[in-house]
Copies of this chain bind each other. A is one copy, B any other.
Amino acid sequence: MSVTLKDVAQAARVSVSTASRALTGTGLTSERTQQRLVRIARELGYRPNPIARGLKTGQSRLVALLVHNLTNASFQVMAEVVQARLKALGYQMLLCIGGDDPQQESDTLTTLVDHRIDGLIVVPTGKNGAQLKALAKDVPIVCLVRCDDATDLETVLADDPQGAYLGTRHLIELGHRRIGLIVGRQDTTSGRERLSGYVRALREAGITRDDTLIHAGHYVPETGVTCARKLLDLPRPPSAIFVANHEATLGVLRVTAERNIAIPDDLSLLCYEDMPWFEWHRPAISIVDNGARDLANLAVDRLLHRMDAKGNGNDGVREYRVGARLIKRDSCRHIDAPAPAKSGKSKSSSSKSSAAKSAKV
């Protein structure tokens, strides 16, 4: 069916071993035969069979990326980055979707090692620590975004405490004092860390923390709806809301639209993580960028390092943090500044009256 090494060897009238050495460049061949073989191989359209090679060498040129889903924008860019980097190095990416489900994760992991993957980047559920730990003996593994406390795996994390701090401080600098926070469940690391960053910024600014302004929930739009309602129904509603997760943002936007609350005039809105449409939205939504692209790149770097180091690429560092950064767009406004009378923003003046409750803050 396809051209094998044997065919090349025969055509060149040498043994298979010589052909192999010449083509893999293991240097033990004379310059002349080397070049001759390369030429013949090209002429015949020879392509080494990775399966056969894998059987002998124990490698597959396959690297797996295991994420929870593809609807999350961060995972999308990570997948694209990882794929691009790996391809450039001659690896194929096996993209697996675990659905944040421990059982699925576990199944996937076993079939992946069956396939003798050369490396693995995984966003762990946190429930398969033992298995991961065992696999780590055979395969270089790097954890991404979340860490699995049951393992001592190298992990590349977003700097959530700093990101949340940066965002909150930004709002404070704009004069906001009552800042609502919609954050992830407190039994997740990211949930806890984002809260802590928020709290730190408040403390630094000498603002006392008001727990009625803090709401935690799952990373789904519904959370945004219910939390936004609670916040806006407060006797003294916040003048700004920091939504520490992009799924919930959908819900918040819906509530503000329903109540005719103008952003940023009546309410400033800041989100965590970017989505492609945020900058197209009117007003364009300011965000704290968790650096998905950087995270993915670093994870690949670390993985490649481990793969090269053959077993002990352990540099002592266990946790890498990728800095977050603030991207200012149009959804946050200084609380004391008068509403700009720019054309196309006239909406705000009209809606302000009807959304008196929150505008009065």
Q: Which residues of B contact A1 (CB under 8 A)?
A: 138
**Can you report 22 A-B residue pairs in the complex whose CB atoms are below 8 A from each other?**
A47-B114, A49-B114, A50-B114, A50-B115, A51-B60, A51-B116, A62-B115, A69-B80, A70-B79, A70-B80, A76-B76, A80-B97, A84-B97, A92-B96, A92-B112, A253-B282, A259-B344, A260-B347, A275-B277, A277-B277, A347-B347, A347-B351
- Report the separation of the CA atoms of residues A84 and B107 in the bound assembly, to the nearest whole angstrom: 12
Looking at A51, A95, A260, the one whose CB has the most chain B CB atoms below 10 A away is A51
- Contacts A61-B115, A83-B97 known; list 10 others, CB within 8 Å: A51-B115, A52-B55, A70-B70, A70-B79, A87-B107, A92-B96, A92-B111, A92-B112, A221-B280, A253-B281
> A280-B251, A350-B347 are contacts. A97–B79 as well, Cβ < 8 Å?
yes
Question: For the side of the interface on A, what is the size category?
Answer: 35 or more
Interface residues of A in 327-361 (CB under 8 A from B): 344, 346-347, 350-351, 354
Looking at A47, A107, A115, the one whose CB has the most chain B CB atoms below 10 A away is A115
> A52-B55, A94-B94, A350-B351 are contacts. A254–B276 as well, Cβ < 8 Å?
no
Is there a chain B Cβ closer than 8 Å to A313's Cβ? no
Is there a chain B Cβ closer than 8 Å to A9's Cβ? no
Q: Which residues of B contact A280 (CB under 8 A)?
A: 221, 250-251, 253-254
Which of B61, B108, B344, B354 makes the CB contact (< 8 A) with A260?
B344
Is there a chain B Cβ closer than 8 Å to A110's Cβ? yes
Is there a chain B Cβ closer than 8 Å to A150's Cβ? no
A62 to chain B, nearest CB (A): 8
A103 to chain B, nearest CB (A): 12
> How many monomers of this chain does the complex have?
2
- Report the separation of the CA atoms of residues A1 and B138 in the bound assembly, to the nearest whole angstrom: 8
User: A6-43: contact bitstring with B at CB < 8 Å (1 yes, 0 no)?
Assistant: 00000000000000000000000000000000000000
A322 to chain B, nearest CB (A): 21
User: A72-115: contact bitstring with B at CB < 8 Å (1 yes, 0 no)?
Assistant: 00001001100110010000111111000000000110111011
Q: Which residues of B contact A2 (CB under 8 A)?
A: 138
Is there a chain B Cβ closer than 8 Å to A71's Cβ? yes
Q: Which residues of B contact A70 (CB under 8 A)?
A: 70, 76, 79-80
Q: Which residues of B contact A54 (CB under 8 A)?
A: 51
Which of B49, B259, B344 makes the CB contact (< 8 A) with A116?
B49
A219 to chain B, nearest CB (A): 13
Q: Which residues of B contact A80 (CB under 8 A)?
A: 69-70, 97
- By the criterion CB–CB under 8 Å, are B114 and A96 in contact? no
A73 to chain B, nearest CB (A): 8
Is there a chain B Cβ closer than 8 Å to A258's Cβ? yes
